[in-house]
Structure 1
Amino acid sequence: MTSMTNSLPASGGRDRGFFLGGAIAMTFVLMAGFSLQLAMGRSSFAAPLYVHAHAVVFMGWVGIYLLQNIFAATGRTALHRQLGWIAAGWVFLMLIAGCVVTLAIVQRGAAPFFFRPLHFLVFDTVSLFTFAGLTAAAITLRRETDWHRRLHFCAMAMLLGPGFGRLLPMPLLTPWAWEATLVACLAFPLAGMVADLRRNGRVHPAWFWGVGALLVSAMAIEAITYSPVGDAIYRAVTAGTPGAVVAPLEFPKPPGPPA
Protein backbone atom coordinates (compact mmCIF):
# COMPACT_ATOMS: atom_id res chain seq x y z
CA MET A 1 0.00 0.00 0.00
CA THR A 2 2.82 2.35 -0.70
CA SER A 3 2.49 4.12 -4.00
CA MET A 4 0.33 4.80 -7.00
CA THR A 5 1.27 4.73 -10.66
CA ASN A 6 0.86 7.86 -12.77
CA SER A 7 -0.79 6.00 -15.64
CA LEU A 8 -4.32 5.06 -14.63
CA PRO A 9 -6.89 3.62 -17.04
CA ALA A 10 -9.59 5.86 -18.42
CA SER A 11 -11.99 4.53 -15.77
CA GLY A 12 -9.51 5.36 -13.00
CA GLY A 13 -11.93 7.68 -11.16
CA ARG A 14 -14.71 5.10 -11.10
CA ASP A 15 -12.12 2.48 -10.17
CA ARG A 16 -11.04 4.50 -7.15
CA GLY A 17 -14.68 5.04 -6.23
CA PHE A 18 -15.36 1.31 -6.24
CA PHE A 19 -12.41 0.49 -3.99
CA LEU A 20 -13.24 3.29 -1.56
CA GLY A 21 -16.87 2.14 -1.44
CA GLY A 22 -15.71 -1.44 -0.91
CA ALA A 23 -13.38 -0.39 1.91
CA ILE A 24 -16.24 1.47 3.61
CA ALA A 25 -18.56 -1.54 3.21
CA MET A 26 -15.98 -3.96 4.62
CA THR A 27 -15.30 -1.64 7.55
CA PHE A 28 -19.04 -1.51 8.20
CA VAL A 29 -19.32 -5.33 8.21
CA LEU A 30 -16.55 -5.62 10.80
CA MET A 31 -17.71 -2.74 12.97
CA ALA A 32 -21.32 -3.94 12.87
CA GLY A 33 -20.33 -7.50 13.73
CA PHE A 34 -18.23 -6.60 16.75
CA SER A 35 -20.69 -3.91 17.91
CA LEU A 36 -23.55 -6.43 17.79
CA GLN A 37 -21.46 -8.87 19.81
CA LEU A 38 -20.87 -6.25 22.48
CA ALA A 39 -24.48 -5.04 22.51
CA MET A 40 -25.78 -8.60 23.02
CA GLY A 41 -23.43 -9.17 25.94
CA ARG A 42 -21.39 -11.84 24.18
CA SER A 43 -18.22 -9.75 24.49
CA SER A 44 -16.79 -8.26 27.64
CA PHE A 45 -14.11 -5.72 28.48
CA ALA A 46 -13.08 -8.19 31.19
CA ALA A 47 -11.46 -10.39 28.50
CA PRO A 48 -7.75 -11.23 28.90
CA LEU A 49 -5.18 -8.63 27.86
CA TYR A 50 -4.11 -10.56 24.76
CA VAL A 51 -7.70 -10.39 23.47
CA HIS A 52 -7.69 -6.61 23.80
CA ALA A 53 -4.28 -6.44 22.11
CA HIS A 54 -5.62 -8.49 19.22
CA ALA A 55 -8.66 -6.23 18.94
CA VAL A 56 -6.45 -3.11 18.77
CA VAL A 57 -4.18 -4.67 16.14
CA PHE A 58 -7.08 -6.00 14.05
CA MET A 59 -9.11 -2.80 14.10
CA GLY A 60 -5.92 -0.84 13.54
CA TRP A 61 -5.49 -2.68 10.26
CA VAL A 62 -9.08 -1.95 9.30
CA GLY A 63 -8.43 1.73 9.94
CA ILE A 64 -5.23 1.65 7.90
CA TYR A 65 -6.96 -0.01 4.97
CA LEU A 66 -9.81 2.49 5.01
CA LEU A 67 -7.43 5.46 5.24
CA GLN A 68 -5.30 4.13 2.39
CA ASN A 69 -8.34 3.98 0.15
CA ILE A 70 -9.41 7.48 1.20
CA PHE A 71 -5.93 8.81 0.42
CA ALA A 72 -5.87 7.01 -2.93
CA ALA A 73 -9.34 8.23 -3.90
CA THR A 74 -8.52 11.85 -3.01
CA GLY A 75 -5.09 11.91 -4.66
CA ARG A 76 -3.07 12.23 -1.43
CA THR A 77 -0.31 9.99 -2.72
CA ALA A 78 2.37 11.14 -0.26
CA LEU A 79 0.23 10.21 2.75
CA HIS A 80 -0.73 6.95 1.04
CA ARG A 81 2.95 6.10 0.59
CA GLN A 82 3.95 7.03 4.14
CA LEU A 83 1.12 5.04 5.73
CA GLY A 84 2.03 2.14 3.44
CA TRP A 85 5.30 1.60 5.28
CA ILE A 86 3.40 1.33 8.55
CA ALA A 87 0.94 -1.07 6.92
CA ALA A 88 3.76 -3.34 5.75
CA GLY A 89 4.99 -3.74 9.33
CA TRP A 90 1.45 -4.05 10.70
CA VAL A 91 0.97 -7.30 8.81
CA PHE A 92 3.43 -8.99 11.17
CA LEU A 93 1.47 -7.74 14.18
CA MET A 94 -1.67 -9.19 12.60
CA LEU A 95 -0.04 -12.61 12.24
CA ILE A 96 1.32 -12.63 15.78
CA ALA A 97 -1.83 -11.35 17.49
CA GLY A 98 -4.14 -13.55 15.44
CA CYS A 99 -2.17 -16.73 16.07
CA VAL A 100 -1.84 -16.01 19.80
CA VAL A 101 -5.61 -15.58 20.21
CA THR A 102 -6.47 -18.62 18.09
CA LEU A 103 -4.09 -20.87 20.01
CA ALA A 104 -5.36 -19.56 23.34
CA ILE A 105 -8.99 -20.24 22.41
CA VAL A 106 -8.25 -23.79 21.28
CA GLN A 107 -6.07 -24.53 24.29
CA ARG A 108 -8.85 -23.34 26.60
CA GLY A 109 -11.30 -25.63 24.82
CA ALA A 110 -13.36 -22.56 24.01
CA ALA A 111 -13.83 -22.75 20.23
CA PRO A 112 -17.31 -21.49 19.19
CA PHE A 113 -19.82 -24.35 19.39
CA PHE A 114 -20.77 -24.03 15.70
CA PHE A 115 -17.19 -24.88 14.64
CA ARG A 116 -15.25 -28.08 15.05
CA PRO A 117 -12.26 -27.15 17.28
CA LEU A 118 -9.65 -28.52 14.86
CA HIS A 119 -11.38 -26.82 11.94
CA PHE A 120 -11.39 -23.54 13.87
CA LEU A 121 -7.66 -23.87 14.59
CA VAL A 122 -6.81 -24.58 10.96
CA PHE A 123 -9.06 -22.09 9.19
CA ASP A 124 -8.15 -19.21 11.49
CA THR A 125 -4.43 -19.81 10.99
CA VAL A 126 -4.50 -20.53 7.26
CA SER A 127 -6.77 -17.54 6.64
CA LEU A 128 -4.31 -15.27 8.43
CA PHE A 129 -1.39 -16.45 6.35
CA THR A 130 -3.42 -16.20 3.15
CA PHE A 131 -4.23 -12.60 4.06
CA ALA A 132 -0.53 -11.95 4.69
CA GLY A 133 0.49 -13.56 1.41
CA LEU A 134 -1.99 -11.54 -0.64
CA THR A 135 -0.96 -8.37 1.17
CA ALA A 136 2.72 -9.08 0.50
CA ALA A 137 1.91 -9.61 -3.18
CA ALA A 138 -0.01 -6.33 -3.27
CA ILE A 139 2.91 -4.47 -1.69
CA THR A 140 5.36 -6.07 -4.12
CA LEU A 141 3.17 -4.88 -7.01
CA ARG A 142 2.59 -1.43 -5.51
CA ARG A 143 3.67 0.31 -8.73
CA GLU A 144 1.09 -1.67 -10.69
CA THR A 145 -1.93 0.14 -9.30
CA ASP A 146 -4.55 -2.13 -10.87
CA TRP A 147 -2.94 -5.25 -9.38
CA HIS A 148 -2.12 -3.50 -6.11
CA ARG A 149 -5.69 -2.45 -5.39
CA ARG A 150 -7.30 -5.72 -6.31
CA LEU A 151 -4.93 -7.94 -4.37
CA HIS A 152 -5.30 -5.74 -1.28
CA PHE A 153 -9.07 -5.90 -1.71
CA CYS A 154 -8.99 -9.72 -1.80
CA ALA A 155 -6.69 -9.80 1.24
CA MET A 156 -9.10 -7.60 3.16
CA ALA A 157 -12.03 -9.78 2.12
CA MET A 158 -10.19 -12.69 3.74
CA LEU A 159 -10.49 -10.89 7.09
CA LEU A 160 -14.26 -10.46 6.97
CA GLY A 161 -14.99 -13.87 8.49
CA PRO A 162 -15.07 -12.57 12.10
CA GLY A 163 -17.49 -9.82 11.07
CA PHE A 164 -19.85 -12.08 9.16
CA GLY A 165 -19.50 -14.69 11.89
CA ARG A 166 -21.10 -12.21 14.29
CA LEU A 167 -23.81 -11.06 11.89
CA LEU A 168 -24.97 -14.34 10.36
CA PRO A 169 -27.11 -16.80 12.40
CA MET A 170 -24.19 -19.16 12.84
CA PRO A 171 -25.89 -21.75 15.11
CA LEU A 172 -28.58 -22.21 12.47
CA LEU A 173 -25.94 -22.71 9.78
CA THR A 174 -24.21 -25.62 11.55
CA PRO A 175 -22.50 -27.74 10.20
CA TRP A 176 -21.86 -25.30 7.32
CA ALA A 177 -21.18 -22.17 9.37
CA TRP A 178 -17.61 -21.67 8.17
CA GLU A 179 -18.55 -22.33 4.56
CA ALA A 180 -21.32 -19.72 4.86
CA THR A 181 -18.85 -17.07 6.05
CA LEU A 182 -16.49 -17.99 3.20
CA VAL A 183 -19.24 -17.44 0.63
CA ALA A 184 -20.08 -14.08 2.25
CA CYS A 185 -16.43 -13.03 2.11
CA LEU A 186 -16.14 -14.06 -1.55
CA ALA A 187 -19.08 -11.79 -2.41
CA PHE A 188 -16.77 -8.76 -2.23
CA PRO A 189 -14.13 -9.80 -4.79
CA LEU A 190 -16.87 -11.27 -6.97
CA ALA A 191 -18.53 -7.85 -6.91
CA GLY A 192 -15.19 -6.43 -8.01
CA MET A 193 -15.10 -8.80 -10.95
CA VAL A 194 -18.60 -7.75 -11.99
CA ALA A 195 -17.67 -4.08 -11.63
CA ASP A 196 -14.61 -4.60 -13.84
CA LEU A 197 -16.71 -6.33 -16.45
CA ARG A 198 -19.23 -3.49 -16.50
CA ARG A 199 -16.61 -0.73 -16.59
CA ASN A 200 -13.96 -2.22 -18.85
CA GLY A 201 -15.62 -5.12 -20.62
CA ARG A 202 -13.20 -7.59 -19.04
CA VAL A 203 -12.21 -8.95 -15.66
CA HIS A 204 -8.73 -7.97 -14.51
CA PRO A 205 -6.50 -11.06 -13.95
CA ALA A 206 -5.65 -9.88 -10.43
CA TRP A 207 -9.15 -10.92 -9.36
CA PHE A 208 -8.54 -14.48 -10.55
CA TRP A 209 -5.32 -14.65 -8.55
CA GLY A 210 -6.97 -13.17 -5.47
CA VAL A 211 -10.10 -15.30 -5.60
CA GLY A 212 -7.96 -18.29 -6.54
CA ALA A 213 -5.85 -17.78 -3.41
CA LEU A 214 -8.99 -17.71 -1.27
CA LEU A 215 -10.32 -20.90 -2.86
CA VAL A 216 -6.96 -22.70 -2.63
CA SER A 217 -6.72 -21.75 1.04
CA ALA A 218 -10.23 -23.15 1.58
CA MET A 219 -9.24 -26.45 -0.03
CA ALA A 220 -6.05 -26.55 2.05
CA ILE A 221 -8.09 -25.92 5.20
CA GLU A 222 -10.38 -28.86 4.43
CA ALA A 223 -7.48 -31.13 3.49
CA ILE A 224 -5.52 -30.37 6.66
CA THR A 225 -8.52 -30.53 8.98
CA TYR A 226 -9.59 -34.01 7.95
CA SER A 227 -6.13 -35.55 7.72
CA PRO A 228 -3.73 -37.17 10.20
CA VAL A 229 -1.60 -34.02 9.88
CA GLY A 230 -4.43 -31.90 11.25
CA ASP A 231 -5.00 -34.30 14.13
CA ALA A 232 -1.29 -34.28 14.97
CA ILE A 233 -1.21 -30.48 14.92
CA TYR A 234 -4.21 -30.31 17.24
CA ARG A 235 -2.69 -32.80 19.69
CA ALA A 236 0.60 -30.89 19.74
CA VAL A 237 -1.08 -27.52 20.23
CA THR A 238 -3.41 -28.65 23.02
CA ALA A 239 -1.03 -30.99 24.88
CA GLY A 240 -1.22 -30.31 28.62
CA THR A 241 -4.12 -27.85 28.28
CA PRO A 242 -7.91 -28.13 28.80
CA GLY A 243 -8.31 -28.32 25.03
CA ALA A 244 -6.60 -31.71 25.00
CA VAL A 245 -9.77 -33.40 26.27
CA VAL A 246 -11.96 -31.76 23.63
CA ALA A 247 -12.74 -33.94 20.61
CA PRO A 248 -11.09 -32.14 17.68
CA LEU A 249 -13.75 -32.97 15.09
CA GLU A 250 -16.90 -32.88 17.19
CA PHE A 251 -19.03 -29.77 17.64
CA PRO A 252 -18.89 -28.52 21.25
CA LYS A 253 -22.14 -28.40 23.17
CA PRO A 254 -23.94 -25.05 22.94
CA PRO A 255 -23.80 -22.99 26.14
CA GLY A 256 -26.74 -23.63 28.41
CA PRO A 257 -29.12 -21.01 29.85
CA PRO A 258 -27.85 -19.00 32.83
CA ALA A 259 -28.41 -20.72 36.16
Structure 2
Amino acid sequence: MTGTPTLLLTRPAEASERFAAQLRGVLGARTPKVLIAPLMRLDYAGRLPEMTRVAGLIFTSANGVRAYAVAGGPRDLPAWAVGDATAEAARRAGIPARAAGGDARALLDLMVRERPPGPLLHVRGEHARGDVARKLRVAGLDTRETVLYRQILLPLGDAARAALEGRAPVVVPLFSPRTAVQFATQHGGRAPLLVAAMSEAVAREVAHLPAVRLLTAERPDAPAMLRAVVALLDHAARLEGPETDG
Protein backbone atom coordinates (compact mmCIF):
# COMPACT_ATOMS: atom_id res chain seq x y z
CA MET A 1 0.00 0.00 0.00
CA THR A 2 1.04 3.62 -0.35
CA GLY A 3 2.30 5.64 2.56
CA THR A 4 0.39 8.38 4.33
CA PRO A 5 -0.80 11.04 1.85
CA THR A 6 0.92 14.41 1.78
CA LEU A 7 -1.09 17.61 1.36
CA LEU A 8 0.96 19.97 -0.80
CA LEU A 9 -0.12 23.62 -0.42
CA THR A 10 1.18 26.00 -3.06
CA ARG A 11 -0.50 29.29 -2.15
CA PRO A 12 1.51 32.09 -0.51
CA ALA A 13 2.61 31.06 2.98
CA GLU A 14 -0.02 32.98 4.97
CA ALA A 15 -2.90 31.68 2.86
CA SER A 16 -1.51 28.12 2.97
CA GLU A 17 -1.18 28.22 6.74
CA ARG A 18 -4.74 29.49 7.05
CA PHE A 19 -6.06 26.69 4.82
CA ALA A 20 -4.08 24.09 6.77
CA ALA A 21 -5.58 25.39 10.03
CA GLN A 22 -9.07 25.17 8.54
CA LEU A 23 -8.40 21.59 7.48
CA ARG A 24 -7.17 20.67 10.95
CA GLY A 25 -10.42 22.08 12.29
CA VAL A 26 -12.29 19.60 10.08
CA LEU A 27 -10.08 16.52 10.35
CA GLY A 28 -8.44 16.92 13.75
CA ALA A 29 -6.07 14.04 14.43
CA ARG A 30 -6.74 12.64 10.93
CA THR A 31 -4.98 15.60 9.30
CA PRO A 32 -2.19 14.29 7.05
CA LYS A 33 1.31 15.62 6.67
CA VAL A 34 1.10 19.20 5.35
CA LEU A 35 3.86 20.54 3.14
CA ILE A 36 3.75 24.28 2.39
CA ALA A 37 5.64 25.10 -0.80
CA PRO A 38 4.42 28.44 -2.22
CA LEU A 39 4.48 28.81 -5.99
CA MET A 40 3.79 32.52 -5.60
CA ARG A 41 4.77 35.35 -3.31
CA LEU A 42 3.05 38.69 -3.03
CA ASP A 43 4.76 42.05 -3.31
CA TYR A 44 2.65 44.81 -1.76
CA ALA A 45 4.38 47.66 -3.54
CA GLY A 46 1.51 49.57 -5.15
CA ARG A 47 0.37 53.10 -4.34
CA LEU A 48 -3.20 54.28 -4.01
CA PRO A 49 -4.61 56.86 -6.39
CA GLU A 50 -6.21 60.05 -5.11
CA MET A 51 -8.97 58.79 -2.80
CA THR A 52 -10.90 62.00 -2.09
CA ARG A 53 -13.79 61.26 -4.45
CA VAL A 54 -13.85 57.46 -4.14
CA ALA A 55 -17.27 56.39 -2.85
CA GLY A 56 -16.84 52.62 -2.59
CA LEU A 57 -14.35 49.78 -2.88
CA ILE A 58 -14.39 46.47 -4.75
CA PHE A 59 -12.28 43.54 -3.57
CA THR A 60 -11.94 40.32 -5.56
CA SER A 61 -9.47 38.67 -3.16
CA ALA A 62 -8.32 38.85 0.44
CA ASN A 63 -4.90 39.76 -0.97
CA GLY A 64 -6.44 42.94 -2.34
CA VAL A 65 -7.76 43.79 1.11
CA ARG A 66 -4.31 43.31 2.65
CA ALA A 67 -2.67 45.39 -0.08
CA TYR A 68 -5.19 48.16 0.48
CA ALA A 69 -4.51 48.11 4.22
CA VAL A 70 -0.74 48.15 3.66
CA ALA A 71 -1.16 51.13 1.31
CA GLY A 72 -3.00 53.02 4.05
CA GLY A 73 -6.37 53.35 2.35
CA PRO A 74 -9.31 54.86 4.27
CA ARG A 75 -11.36 52.26 6.13
CA ASP A 76 -14.72 54.03 6.28
CA LEU A 77 -15.75 53.37 2.67
CA PRO A 78 -18.38 50.74 1.85
CA ALA A 79 -17.00 47.70 0.04
CA TRP A 80 -18.25 44.87 -2.12
CA ALA A 81 -16.35 41.59 -1.94
CA VAL A 82 -16.36 38.58 -4.25
CA GLY A 83 -16.97 36.04 -1.47
CA ASP A 84 -17.30 35.44 2.25
CA ALA A 85 -13.57 35.05 2.96
CA THR A 86 -12.73 38.30 1.18
CA ALA A 87 -15.58 40.13 2.93
CA GLU A 88 -14.41 38.82 6.30
CA ALA A 89 -10.85 39.97 5.57
CA ALA A 90 -12.23 43.43 4.83
CA ARG A 91 -14.26 43.51 8.05
CA ARG A 92 -11.22 42.45 10.07
CA ALA A 93 -9.41 45.41 8.50
CA GLY A 94 -12.21 47.72 9.63
CA ILE A 95 -13.86 48.06 6.21
CA PRO A 96 -17.63 47.44 6.04
CA ALA A 97 -18.08 44.88 3.27
CA ARG A 98 -20.78 42.78 1.65
CA ALA A 99 -20.12 39.38 0.11
CA ALA A 100 -21.49 38.70 -3.36
CA GLY A 101 -21.56 34.91 -3.33
CA GLY A 102 -18.20 33.61 -4.44
CA ASP A 103 -17.34 34.55 -8.02
CA ALA A 104 -16.86 37.56 -10.26
CA ARG A 105 -20.15 37.00 -12.08
CA ALA A 106 -22.10 37.13 -8.81
CA LEU A 107 -20.21 40.27 -7.80
CA LEU A 108 -21.01 42.01 -11.09
CA ASP A 109 -24.67 41.00 -10.87
CA LEU A 110 -24.97 42.32 -7.31
CA MET A 111 -23.40 45.67 -8.13
CA VAL A 112 -25.36 46.19 -11.32
CA ARG A 113 -28.55 45.36 -9.42
CA GLU A 114 -27.79 47.73 -6.53
CA ARG A 115 -26.06 50.41 -8.63
CA PRO A 116 -24.06 52.06 -5.83
CA PRO A 117 -22.95 55.66 -6.47
CA GLY A 118 -19.40 56.11 -7.70
CA PRO A 119 -16.66 56.57 -8.29
CA LEU A 120 -15.90 52.98 -7.29
CA LEU A 121 -12.38 51.59 -7.01
CA HIS A 122 -11.47 47.96 -7.77
CA VAL A 123 -8.36 47.00 -5.80
CA ARG A 124 -6.53 44.14 -7.52
CA GLY A 125 -3.24 42.44 -8.22
CA GLU A 126 -1.11 42.74 -11.33
CA HIS A 127 -2.66 39.53 -12.68
CA ALA A 128 -6.43 39.41 -12.35
CA ARG A 129 -9.30 37.70 -14.13
CA GLY A 130 -12.84 38.88 -14.71
CA ASP A 131 -12.17 42.40 -16.07
CA VAL A 132 -14.43 43.72 -13.31
CA ALA A 133 -13.88 47.47 -13.67
CA ARG A 134 -14.43 47.51 -17.43
CA LYS A 135 -17.60 45.42 -17.21
CA LEU A 136 -19.02 47.71 -14.53
CA ARG A 137 -18.26 50.75 -16.67
CA VAL A 138 -20.05 49.12 -19.60
CA ALA A 139 -23.01 48.64 -17.25
CA GLY A 140 -22.97 52.36 -16.47
CA LEU A 141 -21.18 52.34 -13.11
CA ASP A 142 -18.32 54.81 -12.63
CA THR A 143 -15.50 52.37 -11.80
CA ARG A 144 -11.73 52.63 -11.78
CA GLU A 145 -9.08 50.11 -10.80
CA THR A 146 -5.74 50.19 -9.05
CA VAL A 147 -2.99 47.56 -8.93
CA LEU A 148 -1.63 47.38 -5.38
CA TYR A 149 0.32 44.12 -5.44
CA ARG A 150 2.28 41.84 -7.71
CA GLN A 151 2.04 38.03 -7.79
CA ILE A 152 5.58 36.76 -8.33
CA LEU A 153 5.87 33.11 -9.40
CA LEU A 154 8.27 30.79 -7.57
CA PRO A 155 9.77 27.39 -8.44
CA LEU A 156 8.80 24.22 -6.64
CA GLY A 157 11.06 23.69 -3.66
CA ASP A 158 13.18 20.61 -3.02
CA ALA A 159 10.78 19.20 -0.43
CA ALA A 160 7.84 19.48 -2.83
CA ARG A 161 9.80 17.80 -5.62
CA ALA A 162 10.82 14.99 -3.29
CA ALA A 163 7.20 14.39 -2.33
CA LEU A 164 6.12 14.31 -5.98
CA GLU A 165 8.90 11.86 -6.79
CA GLY A 166 8.00 9.54 -3.92
CA ARG A 167 5.51 6.69 -3.67
CA ALA A 168 2.94 8.13 -1.27
CA PRO A 169 -0.05 10.02 -2.72
CA VAL A 170 0.18 13.80 -2.96
CA VAL A 171 -3.00 15.89 -2.74
CA VAL A 172 -2.63 19.36 -4.30
CA PRO A 173 -5.31 22.05 -4.03
CA LEU A 174 -4.93 24.71 -6.74
CA PHE A 175 -6.75 28.02 -6.35
CA SER A 176 -5.93 30.01 -9.50
CA PRO A 177 -5.26 29.30 -13.18
CA ARG A 178 -1.89 31.04 -12.99
CA THR A 179 -0.71 28.88 -10.09
CA ALA A 180 -2.10 25.81 -11.84
CA VAL A 181 0.00 26.58 -14.93
CA GLN A 182 3.07 27.06 -12.74
CA PHE A 183 2.49 23.74 -11.02
CA ALA A 184 1.82 21.90 -14.29
CA THR A 185 5.02 23.13 -15.92
CA GLN A 186 7.11 21.91 -12.98
CA HIS A 187 5.33 18.71 -12.02
CA GLY A 188 7.28 15.49 -12.32
CA GLY A 189 7.70 12.21 -10.53
CA ARG A 190 5.81 9.04 -9.88
CA ALA A 191 3.75 9.82 -6.77
CA PRO A 192 0.01 9.25 -7.19
CA LEU A 193 -1.32 12.77 -7.78
CA LEU A 194 -4.75 13.99 -6.69
CA VAL A 195 -5.72 17.56 -7.58
CA ALA A 196 -8.49 19.79 -6.22
CA ALA A 197 -9.26 22.69 -8.58
CA MET A 198 -11.13 25.74 -7.37
CA SER A 199 -12.86 26.26 -10.71
CA GLU A 200 -13.22 24.83 -14.19
CA ALA A 201 -10.68 27.42 -15.38
CA VAL A 202 -8.15 26.02 -12.91
CA ALA A 203 -8.99 22.42 -13.82
CA ARG A 204 -8.36 23.07 -17.53
CA GLU A 205 -4.77 24.07 -16.82
CA VAL A 206 -3.93 20.72 -15.18
CA ALA A 207 -6.23 18.39 -17.12
CA HIS A 208 -3.24 16.96 -19.02
CA LEU A 209 -1.37 15.88 -15.89
CA PRO A 210 -1.34 12.15 -15.00
CA ALA A 211 -3.55 12.64 -11.97
CA VAL A 212 -5.27 9.74 -10.28
CA ARG A 213 -8.17 12.09 -9.71
CA LEU A 214 -8.95 15.69 -10.63
CA LEU A 215 -11.84 17.13 -8.62
CA THR A 216 -13.35 20.57 -9.22
CA ALA A 217 -14.86 22.30 -6.19
CA GLU A 218 -18.62 22.74 -6.18
CA ARG A 219 -18.16 26.47 -5.61
CA PRO A 220 -15.13 28.76 -5.90
CA ASP A 221 -14.72 29.26 -2.16
CA ALA A 222 -12.74 27.90 0.78
CA PRO A 223 -15.47 25.64 2.27
CA ALA A 224 -15.96 23.90 -1.07
CA MET A 225 -12.20 23.48 -1.50
CA LEU A 226 -11.98 21.99 1.99
CA ARG A 227 -14.68 19.47 1.08
CA ALA A 228 -12.86 18.60 -2.15
CA VAL A 229 -9.55 18.10 -0.33
CA VAL A 230 -11.17 15.89 2.32
CA ALA A 231 -12.72 13.77 -0.44
CA LEU A 232 -9.36 13.43 -2.17
CA LEU A 233 -7.60 12.52 1.07
CA ASP A 234 -10.18 9.78 1.65
CA HIS A 235 -9.60 8.55 -1.89
CA ALA A 236 -5.81 8.68 -1.46
CA ALA A 237 -5.99 6.57 1.68
CA ARG A 238 -7.52 3.75 -0.39
CA LEU A 239 -4.95 3.77 -3.17
CA GLU A 240 -2.53 0.93 -3.75
CA GLY A 241 1.02 2.04 -4.35
CA PRO A 242 3.31 0.90 -7.16
CA GLU A 243 5.02 -2.42 -6.74
CA THR A 244 8.51 -2.33 -5.32
CA ASP A 245 11.45 -3.87 -7.17
CA GLY A 246 12.24 -7.48 -6.34
- TM-score where L is the length of structure 2: 0.29
User: Which protein is richer in helix relative to its size?
Assistant: 1
Question: TM-score normalized by structure 1?
Answer: 0.28
**Relative contact order higher in (CA < 8 Å, ≥ 6 apart):** 1
